[in-house]
């Protein structure tokens, strides 16, 4: 075991897969000589050269389309979005090409592409750099969507994503790159379609992902001291949702709180509520509650920015309210 930053864990995963398979290559803005905006590709250009670590122009639609074409020929591109918000410029390529081509070609083409990069609310990055695009992409058929939350799962999930034969959108939170954790020295991979039970409990199921996993864990530390016993599930897979793990938990706790950084309207939480009500309504002792970001462009002002997202004390208050109501 070695203590590793998340950005280093992602770099290790990329390096190991590039060494393992010569079909794997990286492209994006400043991924080569500069080493990436958050140093996820630092040193890889010197090791693998221009043909496998490609610096691109500021043209997301063009280089994403080029990567999809490369995937159709059997290569395995990793597209780094300098900020995931910029990939809105490549939305057509991701939805109409990456998500559809395996189906519209009758299975003649596989699209083994990973599209990854930083997103989420940072520290005063402004509205255009603070978007959460997971709900945008969730509606697109043919995509797998993953949100890493720790150095350990970041490495294992990215390695699996690179090996997958389908397009994977891989979300990293901009404020988690400097998170440190001990990870194994030996190789490991993790499934792309499984949630993680962070903490087992009996009283309430808290569903979360990405940076909010850490806010929930902080809140649960307080709740446990107060005598509550919450169960924390890190979704990890946003598409497909791991309904098997979610179902087992809800059948045990009968109460559900969703904590997300996504927007409330039509967010990941909205889809979760729909599926829970469709499949597990009879097991609920109280209505499903979601704590989500406010439906407005993220302010640049620091205090206003913080007011738009969920904090641990709000999670504590909501759990107390829900469990008192369900008694």
Report the CATH number that the domain containing residue 119 is assigned in CATH: 3.40.50.970
The answer on 313 and 269 residing in a single domain is yes
Give the per-residue pLDDT at 275.
97
Instruction: Give the pLDDT confidence of 25-67 residue by residue, as tens digits.
Output: 999 999 999 999 999 999 999 999 999 999 999 999 999 999 9
Residue 304's CATH number: 3.40.50.920
Residue 202 domain flag: yes
Quick check: 47 and 41 in contact, CB under 8 A? no
> Residue 191 falls within a domain, yes or no?
no
> pTM of the prediction?
0.95
- Nearest Cα neighbor of 286 from 310, 259, 250 is 250
Per DSSP bridges, beta strands 2-5 and 180-183 are antiparallel
How far from 203 is each of 209, 241, 323, CA to CA, in Å?
Answer: 20, 22, 8
Asked whether the beta carbons of 258 and 208 are under 8 A apart, the reply is yes
Q: How many CB atoms lie within 10 A of CB 314?
A: 14
Residue 189 included in any domain: no
The DSSP symbol for 34 reads S
Task: Please give the structure tokens belonging to residue 137.
Answer: 């992409």
Could you tell me if 51 and 130 lie in one domain? yes
Instruction: Give residue 81's region: left, alpha or beta (phi > 0; psi -120 to 50).
Output: beta
Which of 134, 158, 183 terminates a domain? The answer is 183
Q: Which of the residues in the chain have pLDDT under 50? A: none
Angle, helix 243-253 to helix 268-280, in steps of 10 degrees: 60
- Are 175 and 152 found together in one domain? yes
pLDDT of residue 190: 98
- Answer whether 177's CB lies under 8 Å from 148's CB: no
Are 18 and 161 members of one domain?
A: yes
So what's the pLDDT on residue 324? 87
CA atoms of 146 and 170, how far apart (whole Å) = 5
From the list 17, 45, 129, 318, the catalytic residue is 129
Respond yes or no: is residue 60 known to be catalytic: yes
Are residues 202 and 308 located together in one domain of the fold?
Answer: yes
Catalytic residue among 17, 29, 45, 60: 60
Same domain, 153 and 255: no
Whether 17 is catalytic: no
Q: Is residue 33 part of a domain?
A: yes
pLDDT computed for residue 326 by the predictor: 56
Res 327: pLDDT: 52
Same domain, residue pair 33 and 108: yes
Strands (E), the chain: 2-5, 24-28, 53-55, 76-80, 114-119, 144-147, 168-173, 180-183, 196-199, 204-208, 230-234, 237-239, 256-263, 289-293
- Find out whether 30 and 55 touch, Cβ atoms under 8 Å: yes
Whether residue 246 sits in one domain with residue 135: no
Q: Residue 236: inside a domain, yes or no?
A: yes
Domain co-membership, 166 together with 62: yes
Question: What is the tens place of the pLDDT at every residue in 171-213?
Answer: 999 999 999 999 999 999 999 999 999 999 999 999 999 999 9
* Long-range contacts, stretch 30-34, CB < 8 angstroms, 24+ apart: 30/55, 30/82, 31/55, 31/56, 31/80
Domain count, the chain: 2
127 shares its domain with 34: yes
Q: Is residue 188 part of a domain?
A: no
Contacts of 92 (CB under 8 A, 6+ apart): 61
CA separation (Å) from 124 to 59, 173, 269? 25, 14, 25
29 domain-assigned:
yes
Q: Give the residue from 183, 216, 235 where a domain finishes.
A: 183
Same domain? For 53 and 130 the reply is yes
In terms of residue numbers, what domain contains 204?
196-326
Residue 15 Cα distances to 52, 101, 134, angstroms: 11, 28, 26
In a domain, 235, yes or no: yes
> Which of the listed residues 183, 207, 228 is the one where a domain comes to its end?
183
Tell me what pLDDT residue 298 has: 92
Pair 287, 234 in one domain:
yes
């Amino acid at each position: 075991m070695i203590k590793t930053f998340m950005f280093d864990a992602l770099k290790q995963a990329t390096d190991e897969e590039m060494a393992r398979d010569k079909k794997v290559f990286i492209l994006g803005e400043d991924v080569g000589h500069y080493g990436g905006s958050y140093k996820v590709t630092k040193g890889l250009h010197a090791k693998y050269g221009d043909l496998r670590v490609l610096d691109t122009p500021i043209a997301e639609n063009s280089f994403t389309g080029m990567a999809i074409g490369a995937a159709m020929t059997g290569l395995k591109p990793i597209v780094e979005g300098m900020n995931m918000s910029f990939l809105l410029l490549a939305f057509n390529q991701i939805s109409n090409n990456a998500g559809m081509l395996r189906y519209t070609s009758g299975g003649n083409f596989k699209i083994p592409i990973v599209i990854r990069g930083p997103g989420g609310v940072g520290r005063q990055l402004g509205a255009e750099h603070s978007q959460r695009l997971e709900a945008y992409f969730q509606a697109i058929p043919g995509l797998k969507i993953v949100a890493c939350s720790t150095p350990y799962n970041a490495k294992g999930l990215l390695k699996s994503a690179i090996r997958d034969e389908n397009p994977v959108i891989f979300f990293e939170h901009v404020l988690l790159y400097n998170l440190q954790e001990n990870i194994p020295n030996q190789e490991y991979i993790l499934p792309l379609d499984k949630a993680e039970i962070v903490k087992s409990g009996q009283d309430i199921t808290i569903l979360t992902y990405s940076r909010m996993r850490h806010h929930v864990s902080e809140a649960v530390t307080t709740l446990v001291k107060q005598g509550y016993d919450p169960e924390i599930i890190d979704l990890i897979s946003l598409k497909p949702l791991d309904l098997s793990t979610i179902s087992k938990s809800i059948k045990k706790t009968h109460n559900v709180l969703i904590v997300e950084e996504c927007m409330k309207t039509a967010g990941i939480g909205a889809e979760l509520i729909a599926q829970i009500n469709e499949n597990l309504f009879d097991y609920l002792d109280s209505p499903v509650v979601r704590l989500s970001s406010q439906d407005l462009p993220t302010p640049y002002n620091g205090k206003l920015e913080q007011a738009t997202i969920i904090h641990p004390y709000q999670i504590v208050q909501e759990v107390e309210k829900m469990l008192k109501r369900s008694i």
